[in-house]
Amino acid sequence: MDNSIRIFEDVTSLRQQRNVALLEKRLVGLVPTMGALHEGHLALIRQAAKDMHEVYVSIYVNPTQFGLNEDLDKYPKTWDADMEKMIGLNKNLKDTKAKGRITTVFKPTSQVMYPNLPPTSDPNGSGSFVTITPLGSLLEGASRPVFFRGVATVCMKLFNIIQPDYVFFGQKDIQQVLVINRMIQDFHINTQLILCPIVREPDGLAFSSRNVFLGHHRRDLAPALLGALTAARNTFARGARLRDEILGPAHHIMSLVQEANRKLHPSYHIGFEVDYFSLTDPLDMQEVESVGSSRGAILSGALKMLPRSLEYVREDEDTIPVRLIDNILLDADKVLAFIRNRRGDNVVKALS
Ligand code: AMP
């Protein structure tokens, strides 16, 4: 099998290739990414290759989803390593039962993606945008007002350019999955979304391109987020159904971590804030007071890891604020049944 990967920066030539796949009735799956590929991304690609003849990976750090004070300029860019990983993955896929492999990488410039007006992060800025409300204004959207407008807009562009039969997204960003799934439904986009499980490091921290900024002090504390969510999930598993009963243990764990942290010598002190622990309905991510028996719930959390005091920092990375998010689906099968597309086909699949 030919392992070569074609790289496209512009729309016309990519579309020509996409049309060939369409004429030959080969399924095309898209894995949208911002690059700095890690095991989480590679798992999405492997999942796509299982059933797709051709996997398209997009690598584009989309400016409009970064707030004005966020880390757009610092976002890691590792193009050569990304290509090496994808070439290596293609080689490994040869030895599996996968139907396809990565055939195409789309690596557009901002001029290509935003052909008329420069991309803006200003909530009131001009341009053509997709907004999905109220879903996109809650939780992550409350802390990052332009985030889901940027995500939905760039995904709409990618879907229009590539016309993928299937799109693959990670459960790590569960609210993003709901926003994109809602966009697919509401705009009648001719694609199907496959939800892939969260891939974690051995200590439980979900892989994320931004983890490289944690530095080892903050990295040591980061798995506490999953620890807190797991405590909440365990309470649910023991029969608790009320919001406060379930979220209480998560807050308790983080306050214990905070207390222990405060007792440390300032040179080891790690500043963090719990942005939220949340228990939401799987359909619209509205907070719920209890978990119903019919639809399960999404348990999610976000931590803001603050920059360490400059006085004590030994590594550059420690000076950048890092946002950590994670989630667990309570009664996952029921949750997925509710996220499922109303067209009735098996649009969102549970793979975890
Ligand atoms: P990003 O490059 O961070 O925009 O992520 C691209 C895709 O990879 C999104 O669908 C993410 O949800 C997914 N992803 C990122 N991290 C993980 C992870 N640890 N496990 C599974 N999927 C992930």
**Taking CB atoms and a 6 Å cutoff, what residues make up the pocket around ligand 1?**
33-34, 40-41, 43-44, 169-170, 172-173, 196, 198-199, 206-209
Task: Look at residue 57 and tell me whether its pLDDT is greater than 80.
Answer: yes
Q: What is the pLDDT of residue 96?
A: 93
Segment 52-65 shows an average pLDDT of: 98
Query: Alpha-carbon distance 305 to 242, whole Å?
Result: 29
Q: What is the pLDDT of residue 336?
A: 86
Task: Look at residue 107 and tell me whether its pLDDT is greater than 80.
Answer: yes
Tell me the pLDDT of the chain averaged across its residues: 93
> Which of 62, 166, 172, 208 to mutate to test ligand 1, by most ligand atoms within 8 A of the CB atom?
172
∠ CA 225-226-231, nearest 5°, is 100
Segment 43-70 shows an average pLDDT of: 97
- Check if 38 is active-site: no
Q: What is the pLDDT of residue 305?
A: 95
- Considering 38, 41, 265, 269, which one is annotated as catalytic? 41
Closest alpha carbon to 104 in 196, 13, 169? 13
Using DSSP, state whether 338 is helix, strand or coil: helix
Residue where the block lists tokens 């159904």? 241
pTM higher than 0.85? yes
Q: With beta carbons less than 8 A apart as the criterion, state whether 128 and 153 touch.
A: yes
Q: What is the pLDDT of residue 350?
A: 42
Segment 135-145 shows an average pLDDT of: 97
Q: What is the pLDDT of residue 349?
A: 52
Q: What is the pLDDT of residue 54?
A: 98
AA letter at 138 = L
Task: Look at residue 342 and tell me whether its pLDDT is greater than 70.
Answer: no
